[in-house]
Structure 1
Amino acid sequence: MDWTDVGLVIGARTHGETSVILELMTLAHGRHLGMVRGGRSRRFAAVLQPGNTVQATWRARLDEHLGTYTVEPQVQRAATLIATPAATFGLQHVAALLRLLPERDPHPDLHAAAERVVGQLTEPMLAAALLVRFELGVLADLGFGLDLDACAMTGVRTDLSYVSPKTGRAASRTAGAPWADKLLVLPAFLTGTAEMPTAADIAAGFALTGYFFARRVYEPRGLAVPHEREAFLRALALV
């Protein structure tokens, strides 16, 4: 059996003397691994780097087998991304988030979002705003999506300013004011009312998503918060 798909390289490790186990986030087949024979050769060295986008054909006798990849480069951006700490840590964090998803489970929207984030990592603050939205998307696909469309108490869809740490639902500025010290800040760029978030807005966005990742994903799985996330935020002076 075989298929051909486009994939973002999120990891590669050596296998034997000449091969590589390649980890891709593909459009139609989710996070998927396969062996690239001869992947340690000079021909493939620059292609199989995290951050690049490739066209990959996967082949295996049975679906449950590791299988093999043949790859062709589409977008080679890895060399640019490793030039700055923010881009390097941002890429590593995207990969860590994608590894929270079940292997071979399609998530086409997250594939597209990951490509957008990685494609903007040379513009760190723009990438940071996209990465907050990407984290929200991962939470949603893991079954822990936040309800940021309307105020949970009044139903209004304007001036949404807070999020309940218990329910993950939004609250308007007026309705949430009496409990403001117990609620999480909802920055305006996550509600579509601000196109150019400030550094403070982005920091608030990461604080919001970080809270729910810690409580609903990492702690229940017995996982520590990935150090790549903290390193990315420190590189942008957001913590």
Structure 2
Amino acid sequence: MEWTDEGIVLSARKHGETSAIVTLLTRAYGRHAGLVRGGAGKAARGILQPGNRVEAHWRARLAEHLGTLTCEMTHAFAAAVLDDAARLAALSSACAIAEAALPEREPFPSVYDGLLALLGAIENDVWPVAYVRWELGLLTQLGFGLDLSECAATGRNDQLAYVSPKSGRAVSLAAGEPYKGRLLALPAFLAGGGNGAGPGALLDGLRLTGHFLERHLFAPMGVPMPAARRRLEERLRHGAGAP
């Protein structure tokens, strides 16, 4: 039982005195864990930071065993954002959601590619919009995509302003006005309005995707939203001066 693949580090937890249990998102083998001998050492900790891209080699006697991993760094995404608390929070949140939401050892190459693209975008100024779109894409890849193409009530695609928290379908400004207290806000950048977004729109986007992540992924498993995701939303809320 042996494979080699590219992967993104999702987490690394100390095991014993010197080793670490590392969870990767690999392109061909999905979310996959393994024991890294020496993974708790100073040199290895730099490689095994969540968000880093590695070349991984896994080996085990039987397929169902935890097995051992060796990882060689190919891109240090984490190091690029260590001095920026908000970007680091986004990186940590994405890795935590991927680890919690994805089934073990099932390949999702499109999810891997999406996370890799997000890690690259976090280094750019439009990273908050890219992050919200990544969560929206994750829902789609796992079979819970939202329909933001037209109004659920009128069938038109203009002035889309809300999303039904039940159906996940868009609702126009006029059709949603009587029920807006029960609807989720749809920020313009998710309704075809480009990459520009103010703090309020970004928070609306996080509330929207967060609602469906909890409803479709975490609540059925009986687990809460990852703490790293809650910290990201809190950081953006405080940065925007929102209560």
Q: What TM-score, normalized by structure 1, do the two folds share?
A: 0.88
Aligned to 1:23: 23
The verdict on how the C-alpha distance between 1:152 and 1:61 changes in structure 2, with shifts beyond 3 A counting, is same
**Contact residue 13 and residue 21 of structure 1 kept, 8 A:** yes
Residues 184/91 of structure 1: CA separation in 2 closer, same or farther (3 Å cut): same
- Matched residue, 2:11: 11
CA shift, 1:75, in A, is 0.3
Equivalent residue, structure 1, for 2:80:
80
SS of 1:161's equivalent? strand
Write out aligned runs for 1:85-104 (5 A).
Answer: 85-98=85-98, 99-104=100-105
Q: Are 2:110 and 1:109 equivalent residues in the alignment?
A: yes
| Partners of 1:182 and 1:40 in 2: CA distance | 48
The answer (yes or no) to whether the contact 1:163–1:183 under 8 Å persists in 2 is yes
Task: State the Cα distance separating 1:122 from its structure 2 match.
Answer: 4.2
Residue 70 of structure 1 and its aligned partner are, at CA, apart by 2.1
Work out whether residues 51 and 81 of structure 1, in 8 Å CA contact, stay in contact via their aligned partners in 2.
Answer: no
Tell whether the 8 Å contact from 2:21 to 2:34 is kept in structure 1 after alignment. Answer: yes
Alignment match, 2:152: 152
Cα drift, residue 43 of structure 1: 4.0
Corresponding position: 1:210 with 2:210: yes
Runs of 4+ in 1 over 6 A off after TM superposition: none
Match in the other structure for 2:177: 177
Task: Return the alpha-carbon distance in structure 2 between the equivalents of residues 26 and 37 of structure 1.
Answer: 19
What do residues 150-172 of structure 1 show as CA deviations (whole Å, max 9, x unaligned)? 22222223332211112111122
**Structure 1 contact 94–114 (Cα < 8 Å) conserved:** yes
Checking the alignment, whether the CA contact within 8 Å between 2:126 and 2:195 is kept in structure 1 is: no
- Partner SS for 2:165: coil
User: 1 CA distance for matches of 2:33 and 2:59?
Assistant: 11
Amino acid of the residue matched to residue 235 of structure 2? Answer: A
Residues 213-234 of structure 1: CA deviation (Å, up to 9, x unaligned): 3333333433333332232223
**CA distance in 1 between partners of 2:158 and 2:150 (Å):** 7
Gaps of 5+ in 1: none
Instruction: Answer whether contact 1:90 1:232 (CA < 8 A) is retained.
Output: yes
Q: How many Å separate the matches in 1 of 2:214 and 2:3?
A: 36
Aligned residues: 238
Verify the 8 A CA contact 1:153 1:175 in the aligned structure 2.
yes
1: distance between equivalents of 2:157 and 2:176? 13
1:139 aligned onto 2:120: no
Q: Percent identity?
A: 44
Q: CA deviation at 1:49?
A: 1.6
Match of 2:120 in 1: 119
Contact 1:85/1:232, CA 8 A, preserved across alignment = no
